[in-house]
Amino acid sequence: MTESHGGEARIIDFKAAAERVRLEAAADAGRLKADHGVTPGLAVVLVGDDPASQIYVNSKGEKSREAGFHSVTHLLPASTPQDQLIALVHTLNADPKIHGILVQMPLPRGLDEQAVIAAIDPRKDVDGLHPINAGLLGSGRPNLIPCTPLGCILMLRETLGDLSGLNAVVIGRSVLVGRPMAQLLLNDSCTVTIAHSKTRDLPAVCRQADILVAAVGRPQMVKADWIKPGAAVIDVGINRVPFRDPVKAAAGKTKVVGDVDFKPASKVAGWITPVPGGVGLMTVACLLRNTITAASRIEGIYADALKSG
């Protein structure tokens, strides 16, 4: 994939992959229930009324119910005090019907995200953000992995095969995506660079990448001339920007774009993910996968028949 590339990039099909992962999770949920009397339980907590977060939470609840999970959603007002939120987390930790807990981020101003994450039982931390799970991933012994990076690494393996020795650049160093993504690539024997706002000559760094993961949250920041011909480009960004059409812009309408300038980039890259319709589709599917993993471990079930465990 280091050779020059001509023509349009191949689209990495996250839609089909997400459907496969969801079907595997549903099949595993059925086996857990039929063979062990266990129904995987997922609790999602949303604090506040952020519209984007509401959409994500609704999707997670819907997909988990479709997969045969016990699904619970807790909707709390933005004024919820810290101690009340942590008390709810402790209640869910102790609930034997709940195997996975996800507190939707970001939290409203005034709430301590790190304290809330630390309160979650790491065995039930299906978002993979607890310090224990982050430490296990960093030491090469992953337990529960953040859903978006997990979806990305699964797709890279499916698309490229063996990743050993490839140069990977991750733009962004967040605990949700950038850092765990880099750890997963390193665990697959890539040579990994984490780039960020302080990186000198960022375009030149990106041009060294066989795998380029953009997770910086800046619309269309990554230009075509930043990309090595034939590289695999994973765009994690979800940014709302005004339409260029003055009528739509005047009406306050927005569209969703990624961190990569897609059309020009697709003429250089070998593989690329679209936004929307890309990485986000796998995030919910991997949440289901993580919940199956958590349920089987908590219940002491390590059957080889569980494909997604």
Q: Please, how many CA atoms are within 13 Å of residue 265, restricted to the half-sphere of its CB? A: 26
User: Dihedral of the CA atoms 221, 224, 225, 227 (nearest 10)?
Assistant: 90
Catalytic residue among 121, 125, 127, 259: 127
Question: What string of H, E and C letters represents the secondary structure of 239-303?
Answer: EEEECCCHHHHHCCCEEEECCECHHHHHCCCCEECCCCCCHHHHHHHHHHHHHHHHHHHHCCCCC
Let me know if 60 is a catalytic residue. Answer: yes
Would you give the distance in Å from CA 117 to the centre of its chain? 16
Catalytic residue among 60, 63, 124, 228: 60
Let me know if 82 is a catalytic residue. Answer: no
Catalytic residue among 28, 63, 104, 228: 104
In 10 A of CB 114, how many CB atoms? 10
Distance CA 244, CA 235 (A): 22
Distance CA 252, CA 118 (A): 39
Token pair for residue 9?
Answer: 């990039």
Distance CA 137, CA 4 (A): 34
Overall residue count recorded for the chain in this entry: 309
Cis peptide before 106 (omega within 30 of 0): yes
Indicate which residues carry an active-site annotation: 60, 104, 127
